[in-house]
Chain A
Amino acid sequence: MQQDTKLKLLQVPAHQRTESDASHSYSVLDYYDSETILISEVGSDENLEPFVNLQPKSGEMFVPLLGTQNTSRVTNMDMRDSNESQMDTSMITNVSLGDASTITRNSRRSLPSLNSLIDPNIPPCIQPLTELRLKQNLDDKFDIYGFKKDSSLFTSTVESHNEWFSEYIPHLLTQKKKWLVLMKAHGLASRSDAPLPLRYPPKSEKVKKLVRRGIPPEWRGNAWFFYAGGYEKLNKNIGVYEKIVADTAGMQNKDTEVIERDLHRTFPDNKYFKPELVEGVAADSNKEAPMISALRRVLTAFAQFKPQIGYCQSLNFLVGLLLLFMSEERAFWMLVIITERIIPQVHSANLEGVHTDQGVLMICIHEYIPKLWSIIGKSFDGTVLKDDKILTRPPPLTLVTSAWFMSMFVGILPIESVLRIWDIIFYEGSKALFRLSLTICRLCMDHPNFAGSTRDSRNMEEQETDRIEIFQFIQNFPKSITDPSLLINLCFKKIGGYGFGFLSQDEINRCREFVAQQRSRLRTKKGSIAGQLSDSERASLQGSAKMDDEIHDVYGFQRSIMSGVAWNMHISSVMKKKLGKRPE
C-alpha cells in the first residue's frame, strides 16, 4: 500500500447488513461490517469520488472522508470480542468533526521525510497466482510465500512439499474461481487480472464457508485487513504509525535489544527475510534485507505504542507473517488488532492473557475431550489435577499450548495450515484459535502413536514415561499437519469430523471472563477464595440459582470456585444434548 493514498470513507448503516441471522452466533467480528470502513485508493487529494469498483446497493451511502472522519478516542480498546460487539455504533459516528482533515493533511505534509524511514518499495511478496505460476513453483526451491520447501523444522523436503502442493494446486485454482464469482456478485472485482481488491463481501454464511476453504493467497493481506477491522483502525489513526516510526527511529532500549536478537531468527528460512538463501545472491553484511528493516520498525513502533506489552517474543512471528502479505503500516495495525481483540493480554508483561486462555482451553478439553483430560490432567509424576485446580495448577501440556496462542500457530504448523487458520481467525474471531486447538488435541489423541491411548499403563514408571511421551507427541505432532483442509474439515464437520463449530465466541468470552475473574480473586486472596461474592455475582446467583446447582452437579467444581459464574450453562446443555448423559 502506498503512503500517499487517497482515503475515502464508506459507511454502511448497520441495519442494511445483508448477512443472515445465523451468522451472528458465529461471528462476533461481524460487527465491523456495520462500522465506518475506510477504503484506501491511489488518487489525488481533490478526488473524492466514491470508490470506483464498488457497486453500492440501494440505500448505502458514501460519505467523503474529510467531512465526517471520526477522531474520537475510541482507539484504546482493551476489551475482548464480546465488548466489541456491545460497542454502540453511535460511539463511532457521534463525534466532533474536523480533526481528521488536519491529521490527514499534517501526515501528508510530513510524508517526504517519513518516506525515508518507511520503505514503500518492498515489492508485494505474493504474486497473483495463475495456473502457470503455481505449476512453475514446482520447479522452485521456495514455496509461493518464499519459504524454503525443505525444512528441518517441519521435516519436509522439496519432494514431499511438491507432492502435497501439486495436489493442492487444483484447490487453490477452484477457490480463486469461486471467490471471483462471489466478488462479481457483490460488484467488487470481476476479472482475475484486475488489481487486488481492497474491499470484500459483507459477512454471510456463504462467505464464511468460502473463507474456511481458503482466501486466495494474493488477496489474503487485503482480506484479513478488511475483515479484522483494519480500515476502521487505520481510519482512526491516520499518520500515527508514521509518526511513531519517526519517533522511534534509532531508539535503543530494553525492547529494541531483544528485538535485534530476534530479527534474524524470525524467518531464517524465507527468502524475503534472508535474500542470500537464493542462489546467486551474495550475503551482503552491509545491506540489510528490506523485510528485516520493516520487521524492526513495526516491532519497535509497537513496543512504543503499547508499553504495557513492549516487545514479547512471538510477536516477531506474527509481524513477520503479516509483512509477507501487507504493507508495514497495515501489519502494525493488524498487530494492534490481534493484541487488543483477538488475544488480549497474551503478550503483556505478565502474560496474563496466556494464563487466561490456557485456563479456558483446559476447561474446554475437560468438557469436550474428557478422555484426553483424564490423560493430560496430571502432573508428570502422576498427581491427578483436581478439577477445581485447573486454573491454579495448569497441567504441563499448557507449556506446549501456550505457544500455539502466542504465535497463532506460526512455527507450530506448516505454513499453509497457519495461513488457512489465520483466514478463519481474522474473519471469525478468537474462537477459531480454541476450536482449532481442540481439533489438534483431539487429532493427537486419536493418533495410533499416541502413548496414552494404546497402552494400559502397567506400573508407575511406564505411566510416567507415557506422560513424557504424550507431552512430546503433542509438541511435535502439529508440525506434520501439512494438509490444512483435513484439519479444518475435522474441526467443523459434524459428521466425519469433530464438529467443534458449536463452540461459540460468546461461550469463549464468558469462559475467559470467568477464568480471569477467578485468577484475580486467587491473586488477591491467595487461596482463601471461599465465600465472599461480589454484588454482581450474588445477583447472578439469585437469577440462576437452579442452573448454578446444576453446573456444580455436572462438573463437580468446588462451589467456591464456581460461585456465581454461569459461563458454562451453554456447555452444560450442549453436552447433555450431545451425550444424552452427564459427562464424567
Chain B
Amino acid sequence: MSARKKTLLKVIVLGDLGVGKTSLMQQFVNKKFSHQYKATIGADFLTKDLTIDNKTVSLQIWDTAGQERFQSLGVAFYRGADCCVLCYDVTNEKSLNNLSSWKDEFLVQSNVSNPQDFPFIIIGNKIDVDESKKIPSLQKKLLNITNNQLGGLNYPLFETSAKDSINVETAFENVARMALQQEELNGASRNDMNDDYHDAINIHLENDNSGCAC
C-alpha cells in the first residue's frame, strides 16, 4: 500500500428506491447477486481496483438510499465525485421519469465545476424480467428523455441485469473510463497543486445551510 500510485475515482450511484443500486454494485464488485439485500439506509460504499488503459484505478462506488427523505442525512459525500450513475428500473416508469431530478439533485449538491459536461451514465436495470412487465414502449420514452427535452439526459445508456450479470461489467468499465477522464480534467485544472489525492474523497461537510434546510 505504501507506494499507492493508483488513482482513486469516486462514483455515486443514484436512483429511486428498489431499482437495484445495491445489487448492481454488489454484482460488479463481488460478482454475486442475492435476494437478501435490504433497503439501504444512509450510505455505503465498496471499492474495486481495475485497469483502464494500462492504468490501475481504484473505483470507490457509493451506494445511496433511494427514499427521498434520506437526502437530508447529508449528501456531502457527493462532492468530489468523478462520475455519477443514474439508475432506473425497466419495469418502473416513475423511476425513469425521476432520472432528471436525480441528476439535478446531484449537480446542486456536488457543486461540480463543470455541470455542463460532467460525466453521467444511465443504467436501466432488471432487463431479466418478463417482457410483459417492462415499461410499454420503453425505447420511445427513453429517446424522449435523453434527447428531446431541454437539459435532456444525453448520456451513455446501459441496460443491465444485476441478477443475471448482464452488461454490469461493461457499464462500470465505462463508468471508470469516464471518471478517469473527469479526474484528469480536474487534475489539470489545479496543476499548481500536487494534490491529486484530494478530490476523490473530499467529503467536506461544508453545506451548513443546506445541511440543515430540512
Contact = CB atoms under 8 A, between A and B. Distances in A.
Interface of A: 151-153, 258, 261-262, 265-266, 268-269, 312-314, 316-317, 349-352, 354-355, 379-381, 383, 385, 392-396, 398-400, 402-403, 406-407, 411, 458, 460-462, 464-465, 467-468, 471-472, 475, 519, 522-523, 526-527
A519 B206 contact: no
Nearest to B43: A399
A519 B39 CA distance: 28
A522 B37 contact: no
A519 B212 CA distance: 8
A461 B196 CA distance: 10
8 contacts: A258-B67, A351-B214, A379-B203, A379-B204, A392-B211, A393-B208, A475-B44, A523-B214
A350 B214 contact: yes
A461 B204 contact: no
Interface in B168-208: 197-198, 201-206, 208
B41 A314 contact: yes
A485 to B, nearest CB: 26
Contacts of B208: 392-393, 522, 526-527
A411 B42 contact: no
A350 B69 contact: yes
Given A350-B69, A380-B203, A468-B60, A394 B74 contact: yes
Contact of A464 (B18, B67, B201, B212): B201
A152 B32 contact: yes
Contacts of A153: 36, 38
Contacts of B129: none
B214 A352 contact: yes
A381 B203 contact: yes
A387 to B, nearest CB: 14
A354 B17 CA distance: 20
A574 B73 CA distance: 31
Most chain B CB within a 10 A radius of its CB, from A393, A472, A522: A393
Given A265-B38, A402-B42, A351 B70 contact: yes
A313 B67 contact: yes
B150 interface: no
B9 interface: no
Contacts of A152: 32, 34, 36
A261 B41 contact: no
Given A313-B66, A406-B42, 4 more contacts: A266-B38, A313-B17, A462-B2, A464-B197
Contacts of B44: 475
B197 A313 contact: no
A447 B208 CA distance: 33
A354 B65 CA distance: 15
A541 to B, nearest CB: 25
Contact of A381 (B2, B17, B201): B201
A381 B205 CA distance: 11
A570 B72 CA distance: 31
Residue among B45, B204, B205, B209 having the largest count of chain A Cβ atoms under 10 Å: B205
Contacts of A471: 45
Contact of A312 (B37, B69, B213): B69
B74 A392 contact: no
Interface in B6-53: 17-18, 32, 34-39, 41-45, 47
A351 B42 CA distance: 11
B65 A313 contact: yes
Nearest to B204: A379
Contacts of B60: 468
Given A268-B35, A313-B17, A475-B44, A465 B69 contact: no
B24 to A, nearest CB: 15
Nearest to A472: B45
A297 B209 CA distance: 38
A153 B41 CA distance: 15
- Name, among B35, B38, B209, B211, the residue most crowded by chain A CB atoms within 10 Å (CB to CB): B38
For the complex of A and B, the 8 pairs showing the least CB-CB separation, nearest first, are: A350-B214, A393-B205, A380-B203, A261-B18, A403-B41, A380-B201, A399-B42, A313-B39
A308 to B, nearest CB: 12
Contacts of A355: 72, 212, 214
B114 to A, nearest CB: 20
Contacts of B73: 351, 354, 398-399, 402
B67 A312 contact: yes
Contacts of A350: 69, 72, 214
Contact of B17 (A261, A380, A392, A468): A261
B39 A265 contact: yes
Nearest to A266: B38
Nearest to A460: B197
Contacts of B65: 313
Contacts of A312: 67, 69
B204 A383 contact: yes
A269 B38 CA distance: 10
B198 A381 contact: yes
A461 B199 CA distance: 12
B158 interface: no
A387 B80 CA distance: 24
Nearest to A351: B72
Nearest to A395: B205
Contacts of B4: 461-462, 465
Contacts of A316: 39
Contacts of A402: 41-42, 73
Nearest to A380: B203
Interface string B58-72: 001000011101101
B70 A313 contact: yes
Nearest to A148: B36
B201 A406 contact: no
A351 B209 CA distance: 16
A262 B203 contact: no
A291 to B, nearest CB: 16
A411 B42 CA distance: 13
Given A381-B202, A399-B42, A523-B212, A268 B77 contact: no
A522 B198 CA distance: 29
Nearest to A411: B38
A351 B69 CA distance: 7
A471 B43 CA distance: 11
A383 B39 CA distance: 31
A471 B47 CA distance: 12
Interface in B75-131: 76-77, 80
Contacts of A258: 17, 67
